[in-house]
Structure 1
Amino acid sequence: MRTQLLLLFFCTIAAPVMAQQDTTWHHKKCAVVLTYDDALDVDLDHAIPVLDSLGLKASFYLSGYSGSLHNRTDEWRAIAKNGHELGNHTFFHPCLGKLPGRDFVTPDYDLNNYSFGRITDEIKMANTLLKAIDGKTARTFAFPCGDTKIRDSFYLAPVMPQFVAARGTQHEMPLISQVHLENIGCYAVNNQSGDEMIAWVKQAMSTHGLLVFLFHGIGGGHPINVTMDAHSQLLHFLQQHQNEIWIAPMIEVAEYIKQVNPGK
């Protein structure tokens, strides 16, 4: 009788914990968001065919100055209609200059030389352009180069109400209760192998965290690159484990986090 009572006690205590784990990410172990920056031709030529063949949806962060966005607008509009997210990556992709590896930053687009009014106008202008392409108003943002401040002030603050969430570049894999929607971290991919990226996914599965991938070049197209084979290997692993992993665009995951944690 005593043993039965002890079992009943432990089952009663464990049930809410198990239920919380089971429902954290739509009854799955973790959430994975695939993000692609800078509106590159390789997104359309190399990433989209694999994503669509596997039925996976991703977020593409577009900067208005992109030649691909100008030359292939109809293709970008088509991927939005097919369920992929088009996110705001500003109009001219300003970054902080005078930092190691930032030789590509010109004085005209050095965030050190920006005013709050200028960055706000640029972000709003990018939103207008994206709405003209996909017809949507709900959107997420990605900080170019992961830079979030102008002179020690968070520059997205004036327009944050226009976004569901924003993605930064800090290395993290948070629990759903730990996600900061104004600056969600990610794992930036730079020549990692398929096995290395899959190991990140397995870590997220074991810790019930949110794993955001940040891609630039896919088989070329950008100095920050990953091979097409490694990219394909990761996506096939995700597709094969969809019963355990929730894979969705950033905007869907962010909206879900808000529902689960209203205070966010």
Structure 2
Amino acid sequence: MRCNLSAIIIGITLLSFSASAQKNWNNKKCAVVLTYDDALNVHLDNVIPVLDSLGLKGTFYLSAYFPGSKNRLSDWKKAAANGHELGNHTLFHPCIGKSKGRSWVRKERDLDNYSMERLVEEIRMTNVFLQALDGKTKRTFAYPCGDMTVNDSSYVNNISNDFVSARGVEGRMSSINDANLFAIGSYMINGQSGEEMIKLVKEAIKNNSLLVFLFHGVGGEHDLNVSLPAHRQLLQFLKKHEHEIWITPFIEATEYMKKNQTINK
């Protein structure tokens, strides 16, 4: 009888541990972050209204000089006041022009023509701009074009003290114990259907992962675009499955990861 009782206790403990392991994202099975790049008008006009209608929060990466940033300051202030995250996407969105498909990169916005000092100063100036909008000092960063170097030298360490974390463009999900918070992967969306995006969410649920979506145009305004119906279908699925999906801004997801890493050291 004593042996059977011990076996039962061990079995219950293992089941409890297994259940806990399956819900390690703020007591949910996975985390999903919705990120939107380049401060487009459609983010304010198309995205935020539907997010607000569903009670969901997104992360918007602003390049301060872009028209959609500087021409709609009051709208971004309202978005931040309503719980949406404003992230840093640099001042001018510089990219490496020699990379394939980058003929659109202007000479003065080419990272190969930047100095490290110039880039870091522009990034820090963008933090000042964003603080004027939302009053916050903690911030996350998104690498323009996914580029992380200036003249072949990584600038990641030069900005790591200025940010909580940073999002890249590598199409991968992250575990709760992902060690590199300055290279979090994301899935760039361009023409995918609602079903295709939902398939990614189901994979994240299955694998207990962090899934970051990277949107540009939503219903237009950018060559990288997703249709309004597909975008809405994804959001409605997320809302319906909130009991198992933690839908949260990027800063909250990565702060949670950092805290979990500290606890498990």
TM-score, normalised by the number of residues in structure 2 = 0.95
1:141 maps to what in 2?
141
Q: Is the 8 A contact 1:141 1:167 kept in 2?
A: yes
Q: Is the 8 A contact 2:114 2:151 kept in 1?
A: no
1:52 maps to what in 2?
52
Separation (CA, whole Å) in 2 of partners of 1:261 and 1:6: 32
1:101 maps to what in 2?
101
TM-superposition CA deviations, 1:32-85 (whole Å, max 9, x none): 000000000000111011101000000000001110112111001100000000
Separation (CA, whole Å) in 2 of partners of 1:19 and 1:38: 38
1:11 maps to what in 2?
12
Separation (CA, whole Å) in 2 of partners of 1:73 and 1:229: 28
1:51-200, aligned counterparts within 5 Å?
51-200=51-200
Worse-matched range after superposition: 196-205 or 67-76: 67-76
1:152 deviates by 3.4
4+ residue segments displaced more than 6 Å: none
- Number of aligned residue pairs: give it: 263
Q: Is the 8 A contact 2:178 2:257 kept in 1?
A: no
Does residue 21 (structure 1) correspond to residue 39 (structure 2)? The answer is: no
Q: Is the 8 A contact 1:60 1:84 kept in 2?
A: yes
Q: Is the 8 A contact 2:165 2:254 kept in 1?
A: yes
Q: Is the 8 A contact 1:120 1:156 kept in 2?
A: no
Q: Which amino acid is the alignment partner of residue 156 of structure 2?
A: L
1:235 maps to what in 2?
235
Worse-matched range after superposition: 105-114 or 147-156: 147-156
SS at match of 2:93: coil
TM-superposition CA deviations, 1:117-173 (whole Å, max 9, x none): 011011011111111111111100000000011233321312211101000001111
SS at match of 1:18: helix
Q: Is the 8 A contact 1:77 1:134 kept in 2?
A: yes
Q: Does the C-alpha gap of structure 1 residues 40 and 247 become closer, same or farther in structure 2, counting only changes over 3 Å? A: same
Aligned identity (percent) is 52
Separation (CA, whole Å) in 2 of partners of 1:87 and 1:259: 20
Unpaired runs of at least 5, structure 2: none
TM-score, normalised by the number of residues in structure 1 = 0.95
Separation (CA, whole Å) in 2 of partners of 1:45 and 1:107: 32
Q: Is the 8 A contact 2:111 2:151 kept in 1?
A: no
1:4 deviates by 4.7
Separation (CA, whole Å) in 2 of partners of 1:41 and 1:179: 35
1:3 deviates by 4.8
Separation (CA, whole Å) in 2 of partners of 1:129 and 1:6: 61
SS at match of 2:49: helix
